[in-house]
A and B are shown apart, each in its own frame.
Chain A
Amino acid sequence: MRKTIVAAATLAAATALSSPAFAANICFAFQDLETEFWVAGHQAITSTLEEEGHTVIERNANEDANRQLEQVRDCIAQGVDGIIIIPQDGESAVTIVKEAQENDVPIAVFNRPPSDLSRGIVVVADNATIASQAVDFLAEQALAKAGDGQTLQPLILVGDLGDPNAVGRKEGFYAAIAKHGDRFAKPIEVATEWDAATALANLEAAVTANPKIDLVFTSSDFLFPTIRSVFEPRGMWKPAGEEGHVLMGGLDGDATACQLIKDGYVDATGVQDLYFEADQALEAILKAIEEGEYAPNQVIEDPGFALTSANLGEREKDMWGCVLLADGFLNK
């Protein structure tokens, strides 16, 4: 995995960060590395910076917003040149960005945006559009499979709504379902708080209460194993083409999702371009440091796309999870 990520990240970074004229001390403060997306993002950022000769000071807050604030303050006291942060949530991100800028340290927020986008370099996926693209595909497939006039039951696993990413994904899901409002029942919402145990408990309860589910959308791919553990004993975990297949989609684009699309269990996933986001964050923060700009404010959007069972052959290599999968990530 490391080689592939380093290669991909370095290759992409090579264009943007061709020959750094300086070596910077960068503090990389992340909330945790509990999903494939964060692991890969962390690896891409640290590897690229180190390849370029910069020093990376890493801080893991272990999902504690207060600890993250204290760690960022420690970094500032250490005299770092810039900060890249994956915040615990959108609210703490606002506080931490303000703290850094008040101390004249440029800061970039990677992927999980602050509630207030007006301060800091913010690299964020267009979650609503990406989710909508994935759910559009699922809805069309579900309607094609259903009989005329049949009402379908969708279900969404909602993320922690303190995270603007989760809010955007939920909005994208509802926007896609609303296009066929007369054919879909009111969606069942399952709260996950971005926690697999919470998701498991709530999904168990939801599926027990509503055994007839036609379409499932998870706000993050890392929950597919959780969905499987609930669906499989109930005979609801079937590949496409088999009786009882539930249309299923997610968002992130991780290696597990790629494998499940190939195996037919998952039909679509919204893809965040992890390498694009990492490179944009690095390019922007290094540019700010080089130009002595202490409080750069910029929103960089990752348009993303949806990888579906229909376009898998053409776009597989554009999805970071498929790149990792090809490198044997799931076998390590």
Chain B
Amino acid sequence: MSEALGTDETLPALGPGGMPGAAGARAAGPTGPRRSPASRLARRLGDLFLSDYFVLYLTLAYVLVLIPFLPTLSNPANLSNVLSNMWPLLVVAVGQTFVLTIAGIDLSQGAVIGLASVVGGALLAVGGSGAVLENSPLWGTVLTEQGGPLAGVPWGLALGIAAMLLTGALIGFANGFSVAYLNMPPFMVTLVGLIGIGAFAIWLTQSENIRPLPDSFVELGKGDIVSVYLGPQDEPKIPRRQIYSLVTYPAVIAIAIALAAHILLSRTVFGRYVYAIGANRRAAEISGVPVRRVVIAVFTISAVCAAAGSILYSARLEAGRPTLGDGAFLLDVVGAVVIGGTSLFGGKGKILWTVFGVLFFVVLSNTLNLMNLSSFHIDMVKGAVILAAALLDVLRTRLMRERAA
């Protein structure tokens, strides 16, 4: 945190990230006698620790330490890979950031991804196999051997994507309504969503995948806008594996969503409401914040982001898959957001932090893969890193309080 909220630095106000800024903390701190070099160093380290960019610095340090042992880490193909793995996760994590910031959690994101994938696949498929899908309730009603109802229809792709996003929005609205108006705990509401919606998605296709999907849709998940070749210019034939994706459709989509979310959270009244609810819901209500509406909006945003992530994941795997988002996926999403610095206790979170958290998480997965660790070890390490991030969150909060005191 380097910014303070507003101009009145005498108030222990929440910054845009939801916590007292380092600058504000400095302003509120002692201004007495000159400090010793050791004290100044400790102060600098403390500033670094509280910086918005702490996780980015950590990622860079981690990469620099590992490069001598894992030279592949820095090769362009690997960097291109890391980025391509980052974009869909970022889209989903952006939505989770909103929910964590109001001190909630959205466990249903994985199930939303699966259901949205099935909806998109069923509507957009350009063919179908009766042998595979004959037991599915979609077969013969929505899907046939000619594909889904939007196959070959003008604007069909846009309609299919809209249907996927609408699926997410409806589920998010239901989650938010249950939390805001029925006063149900977010954990329970979204856990039921995770189980129920996930099962519904699997029932719809009887656990089968829907393909083929149109090329225009697949492009959204893996299409290049700008590719680069870094080899010698006199090469008569450029090997395809030496052409690296630089700007891709998933990158553009993810950056656009992250940017919009950043503006919404940090530059609007709605964003302030989100922080206020996360910091103290009761106080926010008394202050006139429309808590219920904001909670519904936050859960809707989370589920729509999950549906947008589903578009990218379904497109890169070229199928509508009911099991997308299953398994340890939520570990990745929540882990990345928490590593970024968003607090599980609410009131504190930034999209920029989530970007860095996702980057760190993807780099971590990539390096663990390059170390040839088994999937079990990889998940154990990821779990340990998330635990460390939660601990760091506690330490950061304590340090900020000490500085603000």
Pick from A159-167, A203-211, A310-318 the stretch touching chain B.
Answer: A159-167
A95 adjacent to B317 (CB under 8 Å): yes
Contact A62 B327 (CB under 8 A): yes
Range for the number of chain B residues in contact with chain A: 35 or more
A89 on the B face (CB < 8 A): yes
Contact at A74–B132, with CB atoms within 8 Å? Answer: no
User: Which residue of B has the minimal Cβ distance to A63?
Assistant: B327
The CA of A193 and the CA of B203, in the complex, are separated in Å by 12
CB distance from B236 to the nearest CB of A (A): 15
Q: In the complex the two chains form, is B319's CB within 8 Å of A167's CB?
A: no
B-side contacts of A59, CB under 8 Å = 369, 375
Chain A residues with Cβ under 8 A from B397's Cβ? none
Residues from 62 to 100 in A contacting B, C-beta threshold 8 Å:
62-67, 69-71, 73-74, 76-79, 89, 91-92, 94-95
The answer on a CB contact under 8 Å between B211 and A115 is yes
Return chain B residues, CB-CB under 8 Å to A193: 207
Which residues of A sit under 8 angstroms from B372, Cβ to Cβ? 57-58
A42 to chain B, nearest CB (A): 12
Given A62-B328, A66-B324, A74 contacting B209 (CB threshold 8 A): no
Q: B308 → chain A, closest Cβ, in Å?
A: 16
Q: Is B34 in contact with chain A by the CB < 8 A criterion?
A: no
Q: Which residues of A contact B84 (CB under 8 A)?
A: 73
User: Taking CB as reference atom, which chain A residue is nearest B132?
Assistant: A161
With A60-B375, A62-B375, A91-B318 known as contacts, the answer to whether A104 contacts B239 (CB < 8 A) is: yes
- Taking a contact as CB atoms under 8 Å apart, the answer to whether A66 and B317 are in contact is yes
Asked whether, in the complex, the Cβ of A161 is within 8 Å of the Cβ of B208, the reply is yes
Q: Given A115-B211, A161-B132, are A104 and B316 also a contact pair (CB < 8 Å)? A: no
Report the Cα distance A73→B362, complex, angstroms: 13
- Tell me if B317 and A92 are in contact (CB < 8 A): yes
Number of interface residues of A (CB under 8 A): 36
Closest residue on chain A to residue B368 by CB atoms = A74
Complex formed: what's the CA distance from A204 to B78 in Å?
48
Least Cβ–Cβ distance between B322 and chain A, in angstroms: 10
The CA-CA distance from A92 to B319 in the complex, in Å, is: 8
B285 interface residue (CB < 8 Å to A): no
Q: Which residues of A contact B211 (CB under 8 A)?
A: 91, 94, 115
Contact of B316 among A63, A66, A160 (CB under 8 A): A66
Q: Indicate if the CB atoms of B240 and A102 lie closer than 8 Å.
A: yes
Determine the distance from Cα of A79 to Cα of B72 in the docked complex, in whole angstroms. Answer: 9
Residues of B with C-beta under 8 A to A104: 239-241
Would you call B280 an interface residue if the criterion is a C-beta within 8 Å of the partner chain's C-beta atoms?
no
Which residue in chain B gives the minimum CB-CB distance to A99? B222
Q: With both chains docked as a complex, state the minimum distance between the C-beta of A186 and any C-beta of chain B, in angstroms.
A: 14
Is A61 interfacial (CB-CB < 8 Å)?
yes
CB proximity to A under 8 Å, residues B190-209: 206-209
Which chain A residue lies CB-closest to B241?
Answer: A103
- Shortest C-beta distance, B70 to chain A (Å), equals 10
Nearest chain B CB to A131 CB, angstrom units? 15
Q: Is B183 an interface residue (CB 8 A)?
A: no
**B328 adjacent to A64 (CB under 8 Å):** yes
A77, B242: Cα distance in complex, Å = 10
Write out, one digit per residue, whether chain B residues 360-404 have a CB within 8 A of any chain A CB (1) or not (0). Answer: 000001100110101110010000000000000000000000000
- B280-301: contact bitstring with A at CB < 8 Å (1 yes, 0 no)? 0000000000000000000000
- Knowing A89-B209, A102-B240, A167-B132 touch, does A77 contact B75 (C-beta < 8 A)? yes
B99 to chain A, nearest CB (A): 22
Task: Give the distance in Å from the alpha carbon of A204 to the alpha carbon of B211 in the complex.
Answer: 32
Answer whether residue A236 sits at the interface, using C-beta atoms and an 8 A cutoff.
no
B228 to chain A, nearest CB (A): 15
Checking A73, A95, A102 against B318 with a beta-carbon cut-off of 8 angstroms, the contacting residue is A95
A236–B287 alpha-carbon span in the complex (Å)? 69
Tell me if B313 counts as interface (CB < 8 A to partner A): yes
Given contacts A70-B85, A77-B77, contact A162 B370 (CB under 8 A): no
Whether A286 sits at the interface, judged by CB under 8 Å, is no
Q: Which residue of B lies closest to A96 (CB)?
A: B317
Q: Provide the residues of chain B in CB contact with A240, threshold 8 Å.
A: none
A77→B81 contact, CB < 8 A: yes
**B62-100 vs A: 1/0 string, CB under 8 Å?**
000000000010010110110011000000000000000
Q: Are B207 and A162 in contact (CB under 8 A)?
A: yes
Verify if B215 is at the interface (C-beta below 8 Å from A).
no
A-contact bits for B304-328, CB 8 A (1 contact / 0 none): 0000000001001111010110111
Chain B residues lying within 8 Å of A66, measured Cβ to Cβ, are 313, 316-317, 324
Say yes or no: is A105 at the interface (Cβ < 8 Å to chain B). Answer: yes
A-B contact pairs, 23 of them (CB 8 A): A59-B369, A61-B375, A62-B376, A63-B327, A64-B329, A65-B323, A70-B81, A73-B84, A73-B85, A74-B81, A74-B366, A76-B77, A77-B72, A77-B80, A78-B72, A91-B321, A92-B319, A95-B317, A95-B318, A104-B241, A105-B241, A162-B209, A167-B131
* Residues of A bordering B, CB below 8 Å: 57-67, 69-71, 73-74, 76-79, 89, 91-92, 94-95, 102-105, 115, 160-162, 167, 191, 193
Beyond A73-B85, A91-B318, 10 additional pairs, beta carbon < 8 A = A62-B379, A63-B327, A64-B326, A65-B323, A71-B369, A73-B84, A89-B209, A91-B211, A92-B319, A105-B241
